[in-house]
């Protein structure tokens, strides 16, 4: 009986590069899906709110600038109320009457002296009576002149009083009209200020409403975009999973199934245009693939199309060959 090291039968799946690669791809796929899932959760948790929800009416406290307006003519006075009658103190001019009387008396005395000797006793008496009558007549004329002056003075005083009364009445009317016009202007200013105040408040309320509506629309738009983003991420996750699976399958087809030691029932079925042998075969380990496949043997192709795994199995890059790896 021969004595020596017992050789264990070879297990093609133990430490197989194919097995390692499949596990690595699954890990990468799981990592990608987990990363996209975290991104989706983070995106979905972002708060979205109406930025203008608390927008205030900047004119809500607007004041009527004319609310305290005053009537500037409220204290208007009648400037003619204290007029004086400049003719009420007129006096009668008696100097002329006195002078005429004195002159007349002196003239009578001179006449009586000059004619007294010639007229005699009886003639002097008659002459004196004539002079007395003339003096009385002169006195009446002087009295009439003084009465006329007094009448004219009274008329002038009455006319001045009437003028003063008219001026006072007109002044009172003007003052009252000024006060009324001032009151009307005051009321107009207050009402105009109130209208402007209300207009500003209404415009502010309209702006506030517009801002809130625009904010609500922006909020809905952001929510819609977030949903689109989530859908895109989910689609990306699905596409990533598909691409990972396709990459796994492509990698299996390109590299891990071309070592002769992993195959059985090998038979030559043709050649490629460049002269590479094309075989039909099955995998020994059915977990790699069941059924018949078409491909090459790694030991028969150019070295620039093969690589050697750390476990010693040869892998072929079918993209560098004019042969397709297919399942029959």
pLDDT at 111 over 70: no
> How is the beta sheet containing 326-327 ordered, strand by strand?
263-271, 277-283, 292-295, 326-327
Percent of the chain with pLDDT over 90: 13
Question: DSSP 3-state assignment of 45?
Answer: helix
Check whether residue 172 and residue 83 sit in a common domain: yes
**Per-residue model confidence (pLDDT) at position 118:** 58
267: left (phi > 0), else alpha (psi -120 to 50), else beta?
A: beta
Whether the pLDDT of residue 281 is over 90: the answer is yes
Q: Which two tokens stand for residue 129?
A: 């009576």
264 and 238 part of one domain: no
- Compute how many other C-beta atoms are within 10 angstroms of the C-beta atom of residue 9: 4
Dihedral angle computed from the Cα positions of residues 234, 239, 245 and 250, in that order, rounded to the nearest 10 degrees: -160
Angle at 305 between CA 304 and CA 307, to 5 degrees: 85
Would residue 294 count as lying in a domain? yes
pLDDT (0 to 100) of residue 116? 59
Which tens digit of pLDDT belongs to each residue from 112-147? 666 655 555 556 666 666 766 776 777 677 677 777
Give the Cα-Cα-Cα angle 243, 247, 251 (nearest 5 degrees). 175
Structure tokens at 121: 């006793």
pLDDT tens column, 69-93? 788 788 877 777 776 777 766 666 6
Same domain, 103 and 201: yes
Q: Which of 236, 256, 276 is the last residue of a domain?
A: 256
**Start-to-end C-alpha separation, the chain:** 47
Alpha helix segments (H runs only) across the chain: 17-45, 95-251
- Asked if 323 contacts 278 with a C-beta cutoff of 8 angstroms, the reply is yes
User: Do residues 236 and 269 share a domain?
Assistant: no
Identify the domain containing residue 85 by its residue range: 14-42+50-256
CB 97 within 8 A of CB 194: no
Residue range 7-36: average pLDDT? Answer: 57
CB 280 within 8 A of CB 293: yes
Residue 238, pLDDT score: 73
Between residues 274 and 29, which one has the greater pLDDT?
274
From the centroid of its chain, how far is CA 63? 18
Rounded distance between C-alpha atoms, residue 161 and residue 87, angstroms: 8
In sequence order, the 6+-apart residues with CB closer than 8 A to the CB of 122 are none
Q: Are 158 and 22 within one domain?
A: yes
Residues 168 and 280 in one domain: no
Compute the mean pLDDT over every residue in the chain, rounded to the nearest whole number: 76
Which domain-ending residue is among 256, 290, 316?
Answer: 256
Residue 20 confidence class, pLDDT cut points 50, 70, 90: low
**DSSP-derived secondary structure letter, 5:** P
- CA-CA distance, 65 to 193, in Å (whole number)? 6
Q: Are residues 104 and 241 in the same domain?
A: yes
167 plus 241 within the same structural domain: yes
Residue whose structure tokens are 């892998």: 315
Sign of CA dihedral 244, 246, 250, 256: positive
Domain boundary among 211, 227, 256: 256
97 vs 278 pLDDT, higher one: 278
Highest mean pLDDT of the ranges 2-16, 17-31, 39-53: 39-53
* Total number of domains constituting the chain: 2
Q: Are both 99 and 172 inside the same structural domain?
A: yes
Residues 6 or more apart whose Cβ sits within 8 Å of residue 93:
149
Asked whether residue 65 falls in the same domain as residue 196, the answer is yes
Residues 289 and 162 reside in one and the same domain: no
Same structural domain, 26 and 58: yes
């Amino acid at each position: 009986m021969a004595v020596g090291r017992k050789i264990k039968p070879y297990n093609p799946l133990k430490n197989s590069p194919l097995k390692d690669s499949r596990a690595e791809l699954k890990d990468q796929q799981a990592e990608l899906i987990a990363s996209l899932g975290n991104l989706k959760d983070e995106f979905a948790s972002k708060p979205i709110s109406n930025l203008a929800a608390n927008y205030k009416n900047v004119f809500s406290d607007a004041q009527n600038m004319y609310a305290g307006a005053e009537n500037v003519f409220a204290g208007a006075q009648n400037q003619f109320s204290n007029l004086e009658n400049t003719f009420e103190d007129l006096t009668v001019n008696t100097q002329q009457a006195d002078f005429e009387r004195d002159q007349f008396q002196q003239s009578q005395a001179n006449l009586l002296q000059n004619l007294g000797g010639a007229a005699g006793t009886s003639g002097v008496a008659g002459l004196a009576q004539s002079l007395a009558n003339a003096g009385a007549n002169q006195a009446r004329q002087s009295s009439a002149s003084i009465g006329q002056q007094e009448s004219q003075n009274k008329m002038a005083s009455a006319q001045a009083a009437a003028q003063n009364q008219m001026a006072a009445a007109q002044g009172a009317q003007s003052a009252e009209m000024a006060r009324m016009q001032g009151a009307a202007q005051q009321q107009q200013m207050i009402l105009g200020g109130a209208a402007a105040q209300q207009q500003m408040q209404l415009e502010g309320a309209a702006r506030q409403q517009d801002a809130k509506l625009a904010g609500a629309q922006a909020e809905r738009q952001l929510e819609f975009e977030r949903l689109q983003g989530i859908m895109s991420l989910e689609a990306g996750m699905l596409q990533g999973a598909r691409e990972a699976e396709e990459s796994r399958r492509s990698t299996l087809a390109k590299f891990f199934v071309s070592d002769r030691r992993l195959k059985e029932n090998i038979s030559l079925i043709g050649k490629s245009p460049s002269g590479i042998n094309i075989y039909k075969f099955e995998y020994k380990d059915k977990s790699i693939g069941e059924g018949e496949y078409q491909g090459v043997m790694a030991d028969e192709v150019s070295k620039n199309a093969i690589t050697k795994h750390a476990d010693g199995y040869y892998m072929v890059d079918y993209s560098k060959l004019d042969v397709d790896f297919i399942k029959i």
